[in-house]
Amino acid sequence: FQTTPLIISPWRALLVIIHLSGAVEGFYRIRRTGPGPDLIGPQECYHRFSGDGANFERTLINWLHRKNTTHYSPITPSYHSALLKLQVDSLRHGEQVTTSSSSCDAKKVDQVSPETPLRERALCKFEYVLNYNPRRIPAALTEVRCSCKRPNSKLVGRKIFECEPLKYHVRVLMFDENCLEYVEYTETIALGCIPVVQANAMADGQEDFIVPISVAPQT
């Protein structure tokens, strides 16, 4: 009796990654021995699709990995016009892809309109940078980097806040140095920079910096 080895293409492997559940911090190889069965939604088109599977997989992987000067990441901010145009020689890890916003100690903004970009209204200043790895699919991801350690004191006063990145996990494929073999990984990227209460805060802040909000009675 002779068995035939099971061969899974990178395209099908990526689809499997998308439907795997669970993640931990940092890089790690996704294991299929977790507790409980896979969650299979019978209404999901992924399970109902009966067309050409190979073409479907290649279309998905090409769409995730495709890049041009203005669209070089499958994850981008909603106001995409804020991103700089990149050329091939600019595809470097840590490359800043937005123009610098105002400084950490800039004066208060006199007027804020609905059209004011979120990056200019944020208490914690941030920039978008490129998370790039040529051995990864997708190779380019856009993430956030906090520009300041704390919010502008002119905006929050002496309140004990600091700025921290809000991190998410993204499932990717990672190839070896020769691009011959790949493994499934989870990468951690920052998608926001938020003001949080200082972890080791002492009593040097204002005691009433958290004000309860009265709930209006139901009518």
pLDDT in tens, 108-155: 666 777 777 777 778 888 999 999 999 999 999 999 999 999 888 777
219/50: higher pLDDT: 50
How much is the CA Rg of the chain, to the nearest whole Å?
23
What whole-number distance in Å separates Cα of residue 10 and Cα of residue 21? 19
Helix 10-19 to helix 53-65 angle, to the nearest 10 degrees? 80
What whole-number distance in Å separates Cα of residue 12 and Cα of residue 19? 11
Backbone angles phi, psi at 119, to 5 degrees: -65, -30
- Out of 2.10.90.10, 3.10.20.30, 3.10.450.40, 3.20.20.70, the CATH code matching 10-33+42-108+116-197 is 2.10.90.10
Close Cβ partners of 30 (under 8 Å, ≥ 6 residues apart):
17, 20, 171, 184, 185, 186
Query: Bridge-partner residues for 132, per DSSP?
Result: 140
Which residue ranges make up each domain of the chain? 10-33+42-108+116-197
User: Looking at the whole model, is its pTM more than 0.75?
Assistant: no
Backbone angles phi, psi at 38, to 5 degrees: -65, 150
Q: How many CA atoms lie within 13 A of 198 on its CB side?
A: 16
In the block, residue with structure tokens 């950490």: 104
What whole-number distance in Å separates Cα of residue 118 and Cα of residue 126? 10
pLDDT digit string (tens) for 44-67? 888 888 877 778 778 888 888 888
In the block, residue with structure tokens 């689809």: 15
Of the pLDDT bands very low, low, confident and very high (cuts 50, 70, 90), residue 198 is confident
What whole-number distance in Å separates Cα of residue 182 and Cα of residue 184? 7
What's the DSSP call for residue 29?
B
Cis status of the peptide bond prior to 138, with omega within 30 of 0: yes
What's the DSSP call for residue 109?
P
Q: Residue 101 is which amino acid?
A: S
